[in-house]
Structure 1
Amino acid sequence: MLLSDRILFLDGEAIVLDKPAGLPVDPPRDGSLSLENHLDSLRFGFKRWPLAVHRLDRDTSGCLLLARNPKAHGRFTRAFEERAVDKQYLAILDGVPESDGGTIDLPLAKISSAEAGWRMVGDPHGTQRGKAAVSHWEKLATVEGRSLLRFRPETGRTHQLRVHALEGLGFPLVGDPVYGLGNSATRTLLHAERLVVKRDPKPPIIAEAPFPDAFVALGFTEPAGAAPTRG
């Protein structure tokens, strides 16, 4: 697998990569390959390896931003922290919500146990010191009891869309082994469709990742167009 063939955006300070599903961003404990093993091929003439600015789950495919120098990494990191980055995701739900769209405002907290490990849960009343998490969504299509949704998260909490789908809409993402009916042989069907990072006075970073084959295999087709960027 050549990640250099999956570049969506490239200039002197940024790379946006179409991350394949199954590739973790950080080195996993089991010692399997991660993004780090491919960084040398993503230098494109620079001496430094690029650095990931944010994280996508191992199963999640699509737009991943890398910074090509430390100053750019700092600016991009602040943009994510200040919610100045427009992110759009596509997901397939194991069910069909009644409405066509809306907003999920559900804080998230991390819980863990020796038996089950850790996971994120909704914390609507703040009893577990959950952090604010907001996701806008719209239903794009339905096929055989499943639905294709576009999510536009305002925040970037761990497993945010996976938990918001389950607890906010009542259905898990197809293939999710933690919050749904998936297992070690399935993939959580979540795809980072579009990423926009403003860089005044420079032109913004704009990247869109191709519609995944795994979505096509379930009978879904690429949506007609990306949703408009927030002003």
Structure 2
Amino acid sequence: MTIATRTVTEDEADIRLDRWFRRHYPGTTQGVIQKLCRTGQVRVDGRRAEPASRLAPGQTVRVPPLPVAAPPKPAPAAPDPKVARELEAMVLWQDEQLIVLNKPSGLATQGGPGITRHLDQMLEALRPPGGDKPRLVHRLDRDTSGVLVVARTAGVAAKLAAAFRGRDVEKVYWAVVAGRPVPVEGRIDHPLTRSEDLRAGRIALAEPDDPDAARAVTDYRTLDHAGRKLAWLELRPLTGRTHQLRVHCTALGAPILGDVAYGPPRGPADPDRAGENTALVEGLEARLHLHARRLVLPHPAGGRLVVEAELPPHMQATFRTLGFTAPPPAPPQAPRRR
């Protein structure tokens, strides 16, 4: 192979250089890419570049002779029609660049220990002939339902991921909590850290002097309540930390209903029910009551897309039991391009 020069396309805007390489030269390993960048053999617009550098349309990438690539991976299996229909039932919005789904509670977003079925795996059923498998842009916990965005191409995924990193996306969640926050609305500005006690959940409130803490900010508002025992909250995370909403609600004294990991157990003050979790309420489903209701995001082609998702069945049942009246989701608002 001789030295080649390739131009970054519009669809590849904001993609990392190493991912761009693996897209065009799938047999090239990360180690090889790092070495080529470190030795200056790979250049962007004639200049040295790091593997993590993000590319812009029109830039040129110098590609040196590459090592012999490993044999190509076998072609993906034909899409499963059953899985495709299941995904189509989740679709809230789709166009040439992205798909917005209403992820059901209980479906993991990605694989992990003990997870044999997940959304990322299912997206293979939406791969167009000769095209790429749609890509996840952000994540929801397995037991959290609601609005989730998928990009059709690597370039679109890079643009949307940048929007999420830059906090240019408005996220609104609904939760039913065990307790009634006081005050009824406000802001939680409390950093989070990894928990040393995994029995209490993976994330915990951080001490003020914790050097590893990450700032986490959530605005909340009480939309309705059933006495002092249960409330319906609107949650707006202004940062995107792991399990942020679950930990912050517990910090309010109102853990999310069904949250066994972060709902504090009853203590000595209630000895007859010691060991029971305050986030579990008799007569209501013992499933996490957290739903990504609304998402407002910049569309890669311009304008802003607004999408809302219907509550999952277990939360609908809880709303009926408690007498909460939720408005139906508004129809998607298509981006208005200037």
Letter in 2 for 1:126: D
Per the alignment, do residues 214 and 143 of structure 1 end up closer, same or farther by CA in structure 2, a change over 3 Å counting?
A: farther
Number of corresponding residues: 223
Greater helix fraction, Structure 1 or Structure 2: 2
Hey, what does 2:94 align to over in structure 1?
10
Unaligned runs of 5+ in 1: 227-231
Please say if 1:156 is aligned against 2:236. Answer: no
Q: 2:125 pairs with 30, 41, 55, which one?
A: 41
TM-score by length of 2: 0.61
- What is the 5 A alignment of 1:4-153? 4-43=88-127, 47-113=131-197, 116=199, 119-127=202-210, 129-143=212-226, 145-153=229-237
Quick one: percent identity of the two aligned structures?
36
Alpha-carbon distance in 2 for matches of 1:200, 1:30: 35
Alpha-carbon distance in 2 for matches of 1:44, 1:137: 41
Q: Deviations over 1:136-165 (max 9, x none)?
A: 110001125210000011111000000000
- 1:128 Cα offset (Å): 5.0
Alpha-carbon distance in 2 for matches of 1:87, 1:200: 18
Q: Deviations over 1:95-116 (max 9, x none)?
A: 1113221111011101235x73
Per the alignment, do residues 212 and 31 of structure 1 end up closer, same or farther by CA in structure 2, a change over 3 Å counting?
A: closer
SS at match of 1:112: coil
Alpha-carbon distance in 2 for matches of 1:223, 1:60: 20
Larger Rg: 2
Q: Which has the higher contact order (CA 8 A, sep 6+)?
A: 1
- CA-based RMSD of the aligned residues comes to 2.3
Alpha-carbon distance in 2 for matches of 1:75, 1:65: 12
Unaligned runs of 5+ in 2: 1-82, 264-276, 331-338
- 1:87 Cα offset (Å): 0.3
Following TM superposition, the consecutive aligned residue runs of length 4 or more in structure 1 with deviations greater than 6 angstroms are none
TM-score by length of 1: 0.88
Per the alignment, do residues 72 and 142 of structure 1 end up closer, same or farther by CA in structure 2, a change over 3 Å counting?
A: same
Please say if 1:213 is aligned against 2:335. Answer: no
Contact 1:140 1:223 in 2 (8 A): no
Greater strand fraction, Structure 1 or Structure 2: 1
Alpha-carbon distance in 2 for matches of 1:63, 1:102: 24
